[in-house]
Structure 1
Amino acid sequence: MTTTGSDEKIVVGLDIGSTKVCAVAGRLVRNNREQETLEVLGVGETALADGVTKGSVVNVNNTVNAIRRAVAEASNQSNLNIHSVNVSFSGAHVTSIKANGNITRSSMGDEVQIEDIDHLLSDMYRNRTSIPADKEIIHVLPMDFMVDNESNINQPVGRNGVKLGADFQLITAQANAARNVRKCITRNNLEQETMMLSALASGLAVLTDEEKYAGVALVDIGGGTTELAIYYRNVLRHVAVFPWAGNSLTSDIQAGCKILPNQAEQLKRKFGSAIPGEYNLNEVVAVPGLSNRRPKDVLLKNVAVIIEDRLREIAALIQAEIIRSGYEGKLLGGLVLTGGTALIPGVEQIFGRVTGVEEVRVGYPEHLEPNGRADLVGDPAYATAVGLVWAGYKTIDNRISFISDPNRAAYNDEPANVPTRQPTYGPPPTPVREKVEKAPVPEKAPEEGGGLLGWLRKVTRPIRGNETDPY
């Protein structure tokens, strides 16, 4: 591909997940056909075992340190001094509330302008009549507009009218949880450009405009939460978050196979499948026992049965929520599955059978300039981080100019060494070399018998007793 020019603005996405923190630096590139692609300049990733639970920051210090290492690695790779980020948030506490609001325009004879919509959105952020005291409005997203007595208007700009209103989707979060995210950003001397729900960021990376117009349900299955975002006629119509995801599969494998949590996680990553029929009853892996104890044989068919059952439950929750949203039968674009758990073989078939949706696909970050770093973030586990970079160049709704409250961009409740506003990026200062922990390479199945997963030895042996029971 021939590149004829690139956008000068560089954007950094910071995905704070339940299992990892990932920072991705990138910039927009336009090729000779005026197609836009994303050039990945740097990637930093840090495992996060105890800092975020079910999408919410619960240990600020651990999360601050993980962010520092991930950002430092992305900075080193891209040769940039990073000052600001687009950051993700999630959590089972996230809710979507339908509301409506309106304003009376002062310029009665003029057409509706984008500034009028901005005014209406700002009023919705300030109006907390339907919001509990312990909640914070993160996104105010319009669905259909109303100008005077005409309703169901998709684009009000350019219409004449005095009264401007809209039906909104208010995405809220626990105020303490949102404050913890901002605290983690501030303590790393970073500025927050935008805070965005993870599923919305993922949608920017994996969904097409055609799918969003036809109607599509994005299912982002991360480590701690599964998020659902429904688009119809290019507008976000419904959002829901469930506290069951990849970590739930790991817990089930641990309990069902009676092994340690880290062994269950590695077993899931290397041999996990939602298709029990692909394994014979004599296919096992040998898992090390406790000190001075014999290794334990685990049947791969049992692991697959456990994974299949849990994914069926998650798919049933998604189906129930689609029915509740009122968009059952309207989603011509079907389901798009993303997040790390979407890589498990057989996940598409399970969601298709349980939901009855014919079109189901796994969503990978698209339109990336080919290079080694693009290969690194080119799978569903990095959809949110890549989408946060795209958020610097496009929006989930082109009718509005902001999707997060500009008055809540910083954490100001305690003194912090926050730099004054300056150019977001530039060459890094002459470094005082401190040791930066290298970001781990994404989990890919290593060669048999090598590396971290060397203890997982796939063997076959005769069947003994009743071993068809997965539990």
Structure 2
Amino acid sequence: MADIIFGLDVGTTKVCALVGEVREGRLQIIGLGLAAARGMRKGMVIDVSDASLALAQAVEQAEQTSGYDLSQAIVSMAGEHISSTNNKGIVAIGRNDAGVAVSDIERALDVAQAIPVPPNRQIVHLIPRNYTIDEHDGVRNPIGMHGFRLEVETHIVTAARPALQNLTSCAGNVGINASEYVLNALASGEAVLDPNEREMGVIVADIGGGTTDIALYMQGKVWHTQVFPIGGYHISNDIAIGLRAPYEVAEQVKIQYGDCRPDKIDANTVFTVEPFGGEKIQVGRQDLAHVIEARVEEIFQHILQDVQRSGYDGLLPAGIVLTGGSAQLRGITEVAERVLNVPARVAQPQNLVGMVDKLHSPAYATSVGLLNWAMSDNQIYQPRTHNREWGRKMGSILKALLPG
């Protein structure tokens, strides 16, 4: 039986369930499930029952299209509860003729992660940035090297334990064990960055519905991460308030007429919209662009300030790579370049094989990246062939989750 990997991207606006088949190290997408998110806000669960139902819908589609019953998944993670820090671990190298062994690295990592973590938080990522052996720094792979002292510098990501428990409960309600959580920006980086960008210095910014997640890469490794509780929802909400229209109308207006460059829009160009009250009005596209530009500028100002605080300002020659659904806004790269003063591009998953028609979009970078992360982390298993009894399974889920 083929090796199967399953990624569950639980976002503020959508749930995407992707099933991949790995043969001889190559990934093929064999299952896809999509559902509108429910019970989520700013990347976090606010209603377990609603969120579980959305997951159930996506997982059902993924099982039907892949032909497998799925039981474990690598799950995306977002929300302002996420924080990060850097720490070092130093140990003596074992006395043997073989040099640094895996056990030495494990001991150094154990020391590095011995940081004060409150009971309501937990470490979700412990990422080695580089190694030093005695006075020899910048070591990429210390295995087999000789010396007396091994030092590892790590990037540590922590999350609120209750937030992860809520996600775990939602997945468990539909029969899925969350085997690992991956920060959105790290998953997206797996899907859209090339090795040269990682090496030179680059930011990947996943601008989703409720959050903007960034990861900064240097020398091929993750050096910094951050989550901002602002995203596409806030842009649409600004439009809804300005037009005095329902959120759904504002979202459609943003997609159809939205632009981040008011100076590129003809001042006489208008469109028609129906606000609350039912009487249609005409709105200038340039006025709409001013509203969108202000919020997009705010997002990039947050990123700029964070990069400056982190001390990496001026160290990103590869610029910023934008992904996520909101990265599809017209003119967004021009705003990014103006605010951050670095090159900017919008990226989508590349080199996909299988059921990929819908996946060639920045909106699915995290979803595809979860499978890439699972491959590199060996998160594969052999599920059962699909028994096509999801109607009965869904009925039991509904009975368990719905009141009365």
The TM-score with structure 2 as length reference comes to: 0.90
Question: Are the counterparts in 1 of residues 71 and 175 from structure 2 also a CA contact under 8 Å?
Answer: yes
| 1:44-55 to 2 correspondences below 5 Å | 44-49=33-38, 51-55=39-43
Are positions 1:88 and 2:73 aligned together? no
Are positions 1:428 and 2:386 aligned together? yes
What does residue 154 of structure 2 align with? 168
Structure 1 gaps, min length 5: 1-6, 31-35, 396-400, 403-421, 438-471
1:317 to 298, 302, 306: 302
Equivalent AA in structure 1 for residue 9 of structure 2: D
1:12 to 6, 9, 14: 6
Question: Are the counterparts in 2 of residues 108 and 161 from structure 1 also a CA contact under 8 Å?
Answer: no
1:45-76 alpha-carbon deviations (Å, 9 max, x no partner):
11114x22111222211111111110110111
What does residue 455 of structure 1 align with? none
2:337 to 335, 352, 371: 352
| 1:43-192 to 2 correspondences below 5 Å | 43-49=32-38, 51-125=39-113, 127-129=114-116, 131-192=117-178
- Tell me the distance in 2 between the aligned counterparts of 1:71 and 1:86: 13
Question: Are the counterparts in 2 of residues 83 and 424 from structure 1 also a CA contact under 8 Å?
Answer: no
Q: Quote the offset at 1:218 in angstroms.
A: 0.7
Question: Are the counterparts in 2 of residues 215 and 233 from structure 1 also a CA contact under 8 Å?
Answer: yes
Question: Are the counterparts in 1 of residues 90 and 149 from structure 2 also a CA contact under 8 Å?
Answer: yes
Q: Sort the Cα spacing of 1:278 and 1:38 in 2 relative to 1 into closer, same or farther, 3 A.
A: farther
Q: Quote the offset at 1:244 in angstroms.
A: 1.1
Are positions 1:381 and 2:369 aligned together? no
What does residue 40 of structure 1 align with? 29
Question: How many equivalent pairs are there?
Answer: 395
What does residue 447 of structure 1 align with? none
What does residue 454 of structure 1 align with? none
Q: Sort the Cα spacing of 1:221 and 1:430 in 2 relative to 1 into closer, same or farther, 3 A.
A: closer
Question: Are the counterparts in 2 of residues 82 and 424 from structure 1 also a CA contact under 8 Å?
Answer: no
What does residue 466 of structure 1 align with? none
Moved over 6 A (4+): none
Q: Sort the Cα spacing of 1:185 and 1:123 in 2 relative to 1 into closer, same or farther, 3 A.
A: farther
Equivalent AA in structure 2 for residue 361 of structure 1: R
What does residue 401 of structure 2 align with? none
1:118-144 alpha-carbon deviations (Å, 9 max, x no partner):
34334544x243x33332111111222
Q: Quote the offset at 1:284 in angstroms.
A: 2.9
Corresponding residue SS for 2:384: coil
- Tell me the distance in 2 between the aligned counterparts of 1:195 and 1:75: 21
Q: Sort the Cα spacing of 1:211 and 1:163 in 2 relative to 1 into closer, same or farther, 3 A.
A: same
The CA RMSD measured in Å over matched residues stands at 2.4
1:27 to 17, 21, 24: 21
Equivalent AA in structure 2 for residue 82 of structure 1: L
Question: Are the counterparts in 1 of residues 64 and 388 from structure 2 also a CA contact under 8 Å?
Answer: no
Q: By percentage of residues, which structure has more helix?
A: 2
Question: Are the counterparts in 2 of residues 13 and 25 from structure 1 also a CA contact under 8 Å?
Answer: yes
Equivalent AA in structure 1 for residue 341 of structure 2: G
Equivalent AA in structure 1 for residue 368 of structure 2: V
Q: Sort the Cα spacing of 1:57 and 1:432 in 2 relative to 1 into closer, same or farther, 3 A.
A: closer
Question: Are the counterparts in 2 of residues 214 and 331 from structure 1 also a CA contact under 8 Å?
Answer: yes
Corresponding residue SS for 2:376: coil
Equivalent AA in structure 1 for residue 387 of structure 2: P
Q: Quote the offset at 1:201 in angstroms.
A: 0.3
Question: Are the counterparts in 2 of residues 73 and 436 from structure 1 also a CA contact under 8 Å?
Answer: no
Equivalent AA in structure 2 for residue 426 of structure 1: R
What does residue 323 of structure 2 align with? 338
Identity %: 32
- Tell me the distance in 2 between the aligned counterparts of 1:196 and 1:122: 20
- Tell me the distance in 1 between the aligned counterparts of 2:152 and 2:272: 59
Corresponding residue SS for 1:308: helix
- Tell me the distance in 1 between the aligned counterparts of 2:143 and 2:358: 41
Q: Sort the Cα spacing of 1:307 and 1:251 in 2 relative to 1 into closer, same or farther, 3 A.
A: same
Q: Quote the offset at 1:109 in angstroms.
A: 4.4
Q: Quote the offset at 1:245 in angstroms.
A: 1.0
1:303-361 alpha-carbon deviations (Å, 9 max, x no partner):
1111111111111221222222222222222110000011011001110111111x211
Question: Are the counterparts in 2 of residues 37 and 368 from structure 1 also a CA contact under 8 Å?
Answer: no
Equivalent AA in structure 1 for residue 37 of structure 2: L
